[in-house]
Amino acid sequence: MKKLLFLINPISGKTEGQKIQEKLPSILSRYLPQNQYDIVLTEPNMLAQMSCLSPDFEILVAAGGDGTISNIIHAMVSLNRKHKVGLIPMGTGNDLARSLGFLDIEDRSLENRIKIILSGNTKKVDTLEINNRYVCINYLGLGNDARILNDFNGLRMNPANRYLFSGSMGKGVYAFAGLKSLNYKIAAGAKLFCKTRKNKEIQLDFNSEIRAILISNITSYGGGTSLSSLTQTDDGFFEVTVIKNIKEWALLHLARFTKKPVNIICPEIDQIQTDRVEVSLPKTTFCQIDGEIISGLSGTEKKITVEVKSSVDMIVP
């Protein structure tokens, strides 16, 4: 069995993926013989790609943003593989890496990240299954936040707008997409059913429009917002947060700057811990999983079921 399989998104962080691919052999030569690792560039269909790769690796290293990492873990869980997972974060939000402490380390050099990965210290992180088809490790968003992401991606994918995403301008474009979609809401009539951590049944009926339903499993959302003070990534539960109005929407984004969880700065917010939730929608809405728009859900399905699926051993500093 080999020690490491690196799966690198070559376009994450602009050209950073390609640079990491070039630097790795030199760094790894100081720690491992060449026959103990493989370096592979990711393809759009990660499930098909991973099914063709040997499973005989101890550690799977995902190098990319949250979307890349989520796709890799989705493929790994779907193939029932049990690798430890290491991260080389290269995205804009890096919410999973932030939650696991990778953004708190002083030395963020590639070599130090390799040392952390080789140390093999792990923490279990629950994975969620959505409608028996999709795997989620960070968060699922229905409604306004997914609409913003959809508009942002539309701008980003247009070659004519490439100059807008140079340097730190991408965050400004995201803010513009947020303002543009400010009034988008989930239609009146949505329903939510779950059992709390204490096995109490809860049904919420929303007779008026609401802005978003956020289902989260980690301590960082949308590039640094903490949704709940109760979050633990390995407890077999996740948090459901309902954003009903403009006040709660504003506090959701303000929480990033106050460094306080949303349920602390907005105690009246609807927030529940559960291991399974059913959301019924009067009509389809926008949906994102781990920062990626999922058209198969947002375009066709009015009932969304989320439950704890299993867990993944994530390497931590």
CATH code of 228's domain = 2.60.200.40
* Pair 143, 289 in one domain: yes
Query: Into how many domains does the chain fold?
Result: 2
> Hey, which of 99-103, 153-157, 204-208, 298-302 has the most confident mean pLDDT?
204-208
State residue 15's pLDDT score.
73
Looking at the fold, whether 102 and 143 belong to one and the same domain comes out as: no
Asked if 104 and 168 sit in the same domain, the reply is no
The enclosing H or E element of 240 equals strand 238-243
Residue 278 sits at the vertex; the CA angle it makes with 272 and 279, to the nearest 5 degrees, is: 90
Same domain? 21 vs 77: yes
| Domain containing residue 40 | 2-120
Q: What is the pTM of this model?
A: 0.91
- In three-state secondary structure terms, 277 is strand
What is the average pLDDT across 186-203? 95
Same structural domain for residues 112 and 145? no
Residues in the chain: 317
CA 39 to chain centre: 23
Q: What are phi and psi of 287, to 5 degrees?
A: -140, 135
Residue type at position 247: K
Rounded distance between C-alpha atoms, residue 163 and residue 53, angstroms: 37
**Dist CA 177 CA 276 (whole Å):** 31
Given a cut of 60, is residue 298 above it in pLDDT?
yes
pLDDT digits (tens, 9 = 90+) for 195-254: 999 899 999 999 999 999 999 999 999 888 999 999 999 999 999 999 999 999 999 988
Task: Kindly state whether residues 164 and 261 are assigned to the same domain.
Answer: yes
Residue at 18: amino acid letter: Q
295 vs 81 pLDDT, higher one: 81
